Amino acid sequence: MAVSKNVTVIPARKHARKSKDEEKPKLRVAAYCRVSTDSEEQATSYDTQIEHYTAYIQGHPDWVLAGIFADDGISGTNTKKREEFNRMIDECMAGNIDMIITKSISRFARNTLDCLKYIRQLKDKNIAVYFEKENINTMDSKGEVMITIMASLAQQESQSLSQNVKLGLQYRYQQGEIQINCARFLGYTKDENKHLVIVPEEAEIVKRIYREYLEGASMLKIARGLEADGILNGAGNERWHTSNINHILRNEKYIGDALLQKTYTVDFLTKKRVKNNGIVPQYYVENNHEPIIPREIFMQVQEELIRRRIVHTSPNGKARTFSSNHVFAQIVICGNCGEVFRRVHWNNRGKKSIVWRCVSRLENTGLFCDARTVLESTIEQVLVTAINQTLCDKDSFLTTLRDNIATVINRESDKALADIDKRLEELQTELLKLATSNADYEKVGDEIQHLRDRKQKLQVENANRDELKKRIADMSTFLKKQSTALTEYDEQLIRRLIEKATIYEDKFTVEFKSGLTVDVNE
C-alpha cells in the first residue's frame, strides 16, 4: 500500500556571512603560578611568572586573559591553604575559564590525589589544563596517564625534600641552633641576628604571673587580673585564658633554655603535627638566651603545679585539688578524720554566720566524723594569737629558725648537679658521633634521659630548699621587725606566714611555712 508523503518547501534565503570573531569565540585562558618560599630569590621568580603568563596569553590572538592566579610562599603538597588556587577552581566551576596554563605539575600540585582530582573535575567541565614543562594537555587521550606518572614523581620529590629539611633541622638541633617563633611569645622578640632578646615591658608581665602564682593565686584569678588591668596576651588579645597562663608557667624558655622538637610532622602531605611522646629525639639547650625568670623560681613553680593537682589527700584516699577562693580553703585541716574544712554560710534561727565544717560532715566520704563547727572569726583570731605567741617568745623562735636554716644548707647538692652536668656533656659528644655514623645510640640516649630526670629532681629539691630558706629568712625578718603584737587579722600576712592549721576538739595546731609549730588553746 502506497504511503502519501508530506513535503514542506523551505524558501531560499541568503544568510549573512559571520565575521571570523563571531565564528569562533576567544578562549578564556587563566594562568596559575606559585613559589614555595618567601625568600627574595623566590619572590623574583614569582614576579617573573606573572609577567611571563600575561605576555604569553596576550600573544595568542584567539585567547583572552581570564586572570592570573598566584599563591606566594605556600606549599604545594596540600591545596587547602592555597587561596588563589581555590579561587581559580571556583571561577572554572562558575563557567568563567576555558583553559588553565601552569609551568609544571609540581607547581600545580605535589599531591598525586589532589592533582588527579582537580584535573578530572575540570575535564568534566571541558576545561583543559596545560603544563608547559611536561608539554601535557589534559584534554589529550594520553594526558591523564602521563600526569599520573609525573604527579607521582613530583610527590616523591616533595617527600625527599621534606626528609632533607628534617635532617637539616635535626643537625642544627644537635649543634644547639634553635628556631623560635616570637609571633605569640610574650616577653621576647628577635634582633637583627635572629637572637632572642627580652622585651622589658612584656617581661614584667611574665614576672607578675610567676609571682602571683607562687603567692597562691589560681590561673583563672591571674587571667582575670590581667584583663582588668587592660594587659594584652602574647597574641595581642584582651582575653586571657587559663591555657595562656599555664603555657607561660611551664615554658622553659623563660629561664633561658629551649626544648626542641616538642612536636613533629607525621605526614608531609597534610602537614599534621602531633605532640612528641618519644617518637623522635628531643634536644634540650641550656643557657641559650637571657632568662626572664630565675631558675630556682621556675623550679618552685613546677613543684607548685604538681602540688596543686592534689593539695590534700584524706585518709580514705580522696584527693582535694587546689582552690584559691579563700585563704583557709587548703590550710584548715580536721584533727579528727584528716579531711579539709569547708566554708559554709549558716542561718541558725534567723542568725546568719559564716562557719567552717569538716567535709566528712557535709558529704559522704566514708569517714565518720563529729568534729566541731568553727566560726570563721574564731579561726582568724586563733591565727592572730599564734603569730603573737611567736612574737612574745621571739628569741627562742629565732634560735630555732637559725638551727633550721643550718640544717637546710647542709643538705645542698650542688656537687651532684655539677657531676651530672659533666657526664651529660660527655654523653652528648658521644651521641653526636654515633648519630653521625648511623650507629645505634639508644643506650646512650637512655642514660642521657635518666641523668636529665635525676638532674631535674635535684633541681626541684634545691629549689624547695631555696624556698624553705626564704621562708625561714622571711619569718626571721618578721620577728625582728615586728615590735608589737598584732591587733587585727591580716589576710596577706596569713598567706605569707601560715602553712596549715589543724583543728582538734580542745586546741588548734598552727604550722608556719618556716617550719615553726604553735599550739593555741581556746
pLDDT digits (tens, 9 = 90+) for 352-362: 899 999 988 88
The closest alpha carbon to 94, from 119, 63, 122, belongs to 122
Q: Which three cell numbers stand for residue 109?
A: 600540585
Any idea what DSSP says for residue 5?
A: P
From residue 330, give the alpha-carbon distance in Å to each of 142, 278, 382, 397, 499: 76, 36, 16, 25, 9
Q: How far apart are CA 157 and CA 163, in angstroms?
A: 10
Helix (H) or strand (E) holding 129: strand 128-131
pLDDT band at 2 (very low <50, low <70, confident <90, very high): low
Q: Report pLDDT digits (tens) over 474-487.
A: 888 888 888 888 99
pLDDT band at 163 (very low <50, low <70, confident <90, very high): very low
pLDDT of residue 405: 77
pLDDT of residue 512: 92
pLDDT of residue 416: 77
Q: Which CATH number fits domain 21-162: 3.40.50.720, 3.40.50.1390, 3.40.50.2000, 1.25.40.420?
A: 3.40.50.1390
Where are the domain boundaries for CATH 3.90.1750.20 in the chain?
Answer: 188-306
Give Rg (Cα) of the chain: 37
Q: What is the pTM of this model?
A: 0.47
Residue 205 has pLDDT above 90, yes or no: yes
Q: Report pLDDT digits (tens) over 62-121.
A: 899 898 888 865 544 445 567 888 899 999 999 999 999 988 777 776 565 677 778 888
Residue 220 has pLDDT above 50, yes or no: yes
Mean pLDDT of 233-257: 88
Q: Report pLDDT digits (tens) over 22-78.
A: 556 889 999 998 765 544 554 556 677 778 888 888 888 889 989 888 886 554 444
Q: What is the mean pLDDT of the chain?
A: 76
C-alpha torsion 276→278→279→281, nearest 10: 90
pLDDT of residue 202: 92
pLDDT of residue 265: 47
Residue 317 has pLDDT above 70, yes or no: no
Residue 273 has pLDDT above 70, yes or no: no
pLDDT of residue 23: 59
pLDDT of residue 248: 92
The closest alpha carbon to 129, from 24, 27, 49, 29, belongs to 29
Q: Which three cell numbers stand for residue 517?
A: 609549730
Residue 442 has pLDDT above 80, yes or no: no
pLDDT of residue 73: 56
From residue 240, give the alpha-carbon distance in Å to each of 211, 233, 236, 302: 17, 6, 10, 21
pLDDT of residue 160: 45
Residue 209 has pLDDT above 90, yes or no: yes
pLDDT band at 395 (very low <50, low <70, confident <90, very high): confident
3-state secondary structure of 470: helix
Where are the domain boundaries for CATH 3.40.50.1390 in the chain?
Answer: 21-162
pLDDT band at 400 (very low <50, low <70, confident <90, very high): confident
Pick the range with the lowest mean pLDDT from 278-282, 356-360, 453-457, 475-479. Answer: 278-282
Q: Which CATH number fits domain 188-306: 3.40.640.10, 3.90.1750.20, 3.40.190.10, 2.60.120.10?
A: 3.90.1750.20
pLDDT of residue 495: 84
Mean pLDDT of 115-141: 82
Is residue 206 within 8 Å of 186, Cβ to Cβ? yes
Is residue 330 within 8 Å of 322, Cβ to Cβ? yes
Mean pLDDT of 204-211: 94
Quote the percentage of the chain above a pLDDT of 90. 19
CB-based contacts of 320: which residues, under 8 Å, 6+ apart?
Answer: 310, 311, 312, 313, 314, 330, 340
Please, what's the b/e burial string for 486-504 (b: 16 or more CB within 10 A of its CB; e: otherwise)? eeeeeeeebebbbeebbbe
Pick the range with the lowest mean pLDDT from 9-13, 116-120, 195-199. Answer: 9-13
Q: Which three cell numbers stand for residue 145?
A: 596517564
Q: How far apart are CA 416 and CA 462, in angstroms?
A: 11
CB-based contacts of 118: which residues, under 8 Å, 6+ apart?
Answer: 79, 89, 108, 109
pLDDT of residue 275: 60
Higher pLDDT, 469 or 358: 358
Higher pLDDT, 501 or 114: 501
pLDDT of residue 121: 86
pLDDT band at 144 (very low <50, low <70, confident <90, very high): low
